[in-house]
Amino acid sequence: MAPSRTALLVALALLPVGCWSFSGTPLPALSGNLATHSPCARSPATRPTSASLGAALRRSGGLQLRMAGDAAAAKVPVILCPAQFGTPADYKEFVGLMEDRGFAVYPAPLSRFDWLKIVPATLTKEFLTAQLKPAKTLGFFYEAIDKALEEVDRVHGSEEQVVFLGHSIGGWVARSYIGERLGEEGAKRIRSLVTLGTPNNAPPKDSIVSSLDQTRGLLTYINDKFPSGYPLQASAVGCVAGSGTAVPEKIGEVFENAGDKLWDAEVGRSKLLEEVVALSSYLPLSGKALGVKGDGLIPVETALIGGECKSVVLQDCNHAGFVPTPGPSLMLPKSYLWYGSEELIDEWINML
């Protein structure tokens, strides 16, 4: 069944809460017919009719498992650091597309409720004074990355070069993990670090929003201690930005022809809502919004570290293909391309 117009409008309106608001809380589950992740239906198992058949099936299954393991070991291992409130299930389709291209992706095994472990940090003096430190605040995320790295070691061996791939804030969490947890010696194992729609840069210090600091000191700490992906060489770091939503130059232009922009039935999207959401997100992240281009949540200039780090800007690319909830995520329509869409992956994958 096609997603309803109302459900899609609600999902798009809630995108900022699930993707970049550090102090936000998980979204309530929404009812309706919006597509969600769900386990594939399986037919009931058939009991073998003889011991010999059962033995044959077991031998076949063992062979398939060995072949699957060998196939994974032959691929380039990638540790995926999810967006805020993101879980491995949200990236299932993306993982499959990457496997088709020769990469074995290991998402940090976060649950939706792991993100609640941030809450104690919001009750501290460090939060109020914007002096939070990543290791203490994001320890649960570090532990999930540890587990993903252990799985890489099990399948590929502890000497295999590893790619770190971060989506949204997962990008700067990856930067801090490499710098704090691995250090200069451990970083020698990192083949590359690529961030997708990550707010890598804080607002300009002279902007009206610089004092807000949505990350409450985390991003400032990371940029001070680990500039340009240090201890990695800047040439091993790549940043991908999306340019799917441009806010008009004048505020009045956002609402011009609002009736026509409210809903495009052909693609199942609302240009009006996307521009309004972008305006509300770009301003606190970059200090400006009018005339700014980005992925609907993260402005292009906020996502690109610059300098010797590699950069790619994707046209018609949005921030995410899902909106997280306490249950299964709400999936946005295929017309809402994001970094992990099949149509866009090949434009940045050579940076891995």
pLDDT for the residue 157: 95
User: What pLDDT score does 29 carry?
Assistant: 34
Encoding tokens for residue 58?
């077991």
- Please tell me whether the overall predicted TM-score, pTM, comes out greater than 0.85 for this model: no
Q: How many CA atoms lie within 13 A of 97 on its CB side?
A: 13
Place of tokens 């691995």: 182
> Each residue of 239-292: pLDDT tens digit?
999 999 999 888 888 888 777 777 777 777 788 888 899 999 999 998 888 999
Predicted confidence at residue 326, as pLDDT, reads 85
Q: What is the mean pLDDT of residues 296-302?
A: 95
pLDDT tens digits for 126-167? 999 999 999 999 999 999 999 999 999 999 999 999 999 999
What pLDDT is recorded for position 259?
72
Pairing outcome for strands 237-243 and 190-196: parallel
Looking at residue 68, what is its pLDDT?
52
What percent of the chain is helix, strand and coil (3-state, nearest 5)?
Answer: 45, 15, 40
Tens of pLDDT, residue by residue over 38-91, are: 333 333 344 334 444 444 434 445 444 444 566 777 899 999 999 999 999 999
How far is Cα 48 from Cα 63, in angstroms, rounded to an integer?
18
Q: Which residue carries 């240090």 as its tokens?
A: 230
Tokens of 352: 């891995």
Which two three-digit tokens encode residue 320? 């995410």
Looking at residue 25, its pLDDT comes to 35
Question: Residue 16's pLDDT is what?
Answer: 54
Q: What's residue 15's pLDDT?
A: 53
- 294's enclosing H/E stretch is strand 293-294
pLDDT, tens digit, 9 for 90 and up, residues 197-237: 999 998 888 777 777 788 999 999 999 999 999 999 999 99
Q: How many helices (H) and strands (E) does the chain have?
A: 14, 10
Q: Which two tokens stand for residue 61?
A: 């299954």
Q: Which two tokens stand for residue 62?
A: 């063992």
CA distance 158 to 189: 9
Q: 220 Cβ partners below 8 Å, 6+ apart?
A: 130, 202, 213
